């Protein structure tokens, strides 16, 4: 099996990922592509403890891009998590052929504008989103499997503008 | 014995609802802090928990809903380097009531152990009686 979900979520591993998406797809592994987390043994241990029964791999973006293709040969499926759109773009630019990202949680921070209840974007986020779309990567907004999936471009006209 | 402080960190309105339910059984509840994770990034939630527990010089309990959720993860991250703070998951009404009745009787670690035992013991099943 191969990739089951590629998700952009500033909470990384949390309830929606493990409980909601986890029960839908039953991943055997969760990859977290995040340079800051990969650099911290403490953070790696924390993330690894957050998903009992699932192998958690915390990798740098470069490592995740380099090993991305090997997941297709691995038994069972996997989730891949990044914390924001800039890291998602960096992963793709580093060579990971991600076809689609699920946008599950980009919460409010100063300077960010509301797209819906759980997606807030600033100019840098939108630049990254447009770059991903320009590379043919689909961006779908959906927090949990039971909610409706919507294209980011349908919710945010600035992301649709080329 | 110094009172063990508690912060309830839970999804949506669960902490407030649990406290309100607790008041129906216990009476007026004072000195229990509440926080929802709603709308907060991991960074913001972690920061807010850290701010709320900053004054707990003798430690305290961060009571959360489920293991691996953002409330739990951010509680652990906010309490990093502070061994006097205990993070507990799986808070339910019986556990909250037991905390309220015993928060002046135990130290942090002993109270946490007691609450875990009480919380686990509170989940029981009973079959309907045959007609």
For the stretch A82-132, pLDDT in tens is 999 999 999 999 999 999 999 999 999 999 999 999 999 999 999 999 999
| Class (C level, CATH) for B6-121 | alpha beta
Of B43, B68, B76, the CB nearest to A18: B68
Answer yes or no: do B41 and A105 touch at CB < 8 A: yes
Query: What 8-state DSSP symbol labels residue A19?
Result: I
Model confidence at B52, pLDDT cuts 50, 70, 90, reads very high
Give the pLDDT confidence of A82-92 residue by residue, as tens digits: 999 999 999 99
Model confidence at A72, pLDDT cuts 50, 70, 90, reads confident
Q: How far apart are CA A65 and CA B47, in angstroms?
A: 31
Model confidence at A162, pLDDT cuts 50, 70, 90, reads low
Q: From residue A149, how far is each of A101, A112, A141 by CA, in Å?
A: 12, 22, 6
- Over 70: is that where the pLDDT of B106 sits? yes
Model confidence at B1, pLDDT cuts 50, 70, 90, reads confident
Overall pTM > 0.90: yes
- Domain residue ranges of chain B, discontinuous segments joined by +: 6-121
- Over 80: is that where the pLDDT of B92 sits? yes
Can you tell me whether residue A81 is helix, strand or coil? strand
Q: How far apart are CA B5 and CA B60, in angstroms?
A: 5
ipTM of the complex: 0.90
Residues 32 through 91 of chain B touching chain A, CB cutoff 8 Å: 39-44, 66-70, 72-73, 76-77, 80
Query: What 8-state DSSP symbol labels residue A120?
Result: E
Distance from CA of A138 to the nearest CA of B (A): 23
Distance from CA of A10 to the nearest CA of B (A): 6
Q: Which domains does chain A have, with CATH numbers?
A: 3-160 (3.40.35.10)
- What number of residues does chain A have? 162
Chain B residues closer than 8 Å to A108 by CB:
39-41, 44
Of B39, B66, B80, the CB nearest to A107: B39
How much is the pLDDT for A1?
Answer: 59
Among all residues of chain B, which has the CA nearest to that of A116? B39
């Amino acid at each position: 099996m191969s990739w089951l979900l590629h998700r952009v979520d500033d909470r990384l591993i949390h309830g929606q990922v493990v409980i909601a998406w986890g029960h839908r797809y039953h991943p055997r592994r969760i990859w977290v592509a995040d340079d800051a987390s990969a650099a911290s043994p403490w953070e790696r241990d924390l993330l690894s403890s957050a998903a009992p029964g699932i192998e958690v791999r915390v990798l740098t973006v470069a490592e995740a891009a380099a090993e991305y293709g090997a997941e297709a040969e691995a038994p069972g499926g996997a989730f891949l998590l990044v914390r924001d759109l800039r890291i998602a773009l960096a992963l793709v630019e580093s060579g990971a052929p991600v076809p689609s990202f699920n946008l599950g949680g980009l919460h409010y921070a100063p300077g960010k504008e509301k797209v819906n209840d759980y997606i807030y974007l600033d100019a840098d986020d939108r630049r990254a989103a447009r770059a991903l779309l320009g590379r043919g990567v689909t961006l779908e907004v959906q927090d949990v499997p039971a909610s409706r999936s919507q294209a980011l471009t349908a919710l945010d006209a600035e992301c649709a503008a080329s | 014995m110094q009172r063990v402080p508690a912060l309830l960190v839970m999804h949506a309105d669960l902490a407030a609802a649990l406290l309100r339910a607790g008041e129906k059984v216990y009476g007026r509840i004072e000195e229990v802090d509440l926080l929802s994770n709603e709308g907060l990034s991991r960074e913001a939630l972690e920061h807010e928990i850290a701010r709320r527990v900053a004054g707990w010089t003798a430690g305290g309990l961060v009571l959360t809903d489920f293991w691996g959720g953002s409330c739990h993860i951010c509680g652990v991250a906010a309490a990093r380097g502070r061994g006097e703070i205990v993070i507990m998951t799986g808070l339910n009404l019986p556990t909250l009531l037991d905390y309220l009745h015993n928060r002046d009787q135990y130290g942090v670690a002993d109270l946490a152990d007691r609450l875990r035992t009480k919380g686990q013991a509170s989940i029981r099943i009973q079959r309907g009686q045959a007609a």
